Structure 1
Amino acid sequence: MAKPYISKQKVKDFIFDIYCEKRDEIYKAESAAINKAVAATESFKRLEGALNSVRSIAEEIVQAGFGDSVLNKIPTLKSLLSETISRSKYMYSEPLKSWSTICEIVKPFEEQLSELSFAKCDAYKIIDNAQTGRAAADALKERGLDFYSWQKKEVEENLDISALKGGD
């Protein structure tokens, strides 16, 4: 029996799936670390209270019929944190003193993401240099990335069992 054809693109899809899973895990861990640090900071608690107070006053302005433009311009703590986090990701290796705490939290996660990206590129090079998709899958398996197990799992997840259901 002939072995089924494996395209290089299918092997690249496998690598990309692994990359996305690991990347998402890192993002979740980073978010949890930042949220934990923020929750422990009295200044952020006071800021959140102040923003809530400002929002309630702005809602009173809306109720009085002066429109919602003031309310719409008041940021949430979540949006402020999101902007802070995104800016810190660009300076984590050499942060300004005013950014040192957030950059210290972000740094290990950004380094993990960088390593993950390099590993994905290395895997893509292995695939591109292989003669066939099967050869690429075999080369990756030698390095601990089992395409064949992933392929079986993917096939099992995509099986359509509706044809096996009985009639009315």
Structure 2
Amino acid sequence: MAKPYISKQKVRDFVSRVSSEKTDAIEKEYEALLTKEIKSLDAFKRLEEALFEARKAAMEIKRAGFGDSVLYSMPASEFLIDRMISRCKSCYHEMPKEWTAICELLKPFVERLSKVRNARQSAYRIIDEAQTGRAAADALREAGLDYYTWENRKPEMVLDLSALKGGD
């Protein structure tokens, strides 16, 4: 029986998907940690109380017949947390003093993300240097990332990209 054709692009898509799954998991993990830490701050609790009071006042303005634009322009605490996390992602490498606490929490996650991205680049180099897609899949298997297992996997199975050694 002939082995199915494996293109380099198919192997590249495999590496991309595995690394995306890994980075998404890491990002969800650190977003959960940051959310927990932010919500535990006394200052944030006071901010939530102030927002609650502001929403009550905005409801009174609405009931007085002045519309609901004030009420709908009030941010939710989840929105504020998302903004803080998003801002931290963009300013991590050149963080201002005001962001040191949140960036300190983020540091181990950034390092893990860096390792995944370096492993992905190493895998791409292996693919680019291979003569065929099958040769690329074989080389990746030797490096610890098995395309064949992934191709035949159960849908819920996720491979660990950290098995691939190397990086920039």
TM-score by length of 2: 0.84
- After TM superposition, give the deviation of residue 7 of structure 1 in Å: 0.9
RMSD value, Cα: 2.0
Matched ranges for 1:3-152 at <5 A = 3-152=3-152
Which range moved further: 40-49 or 88-97?
88-97
CA–CA distance in structure 1, aligned partners of residues 154 and 124 of structure 2: 20
Distance 2:46 2:5 in 1: 61
Which letter maps to 2:36?
Answer: K
Gaps of 5+ in 2: 158-168
TM-score by length of 1: 0.84
Give, in whole Å, the separation in 1 of the partners of 2:63 and 2:117. 50
Unaligned runs of 5+ in 1: 158-168
Q: 1:39 Cα shift? A: 2.6
Alignment partners' CA distance in 2, 1:146 and 1:13? 13
Identical-residue share of aligned pairs (%): 52
Alpha-carbon distance between aligned partners in 2 of 1:117 and 1:56, rounded to the nearest angstrom: 47
Q: Indicate the structure (1 or 2) with the bigger Cα radius of gyration.
A: 1
Secondary structure of the structure 1 residue equivalent to 2:140: helix
Maintained 8 Å contact 1:89/1:110: no
Given that 2:6 and 2:133 are in contact with CA atoms closer than 8 Å, whether structure 1 keeps it comes out as yes
Question: 1:92 touches 1:104 (CA, 8 Å); kept in 2?
Answer: no
Question: 1:36, CA displacement in angstroms?
Answer: 1.9
- CA distance in 1: counterparts of 2:37 and 2:120, whole angstroms: 31
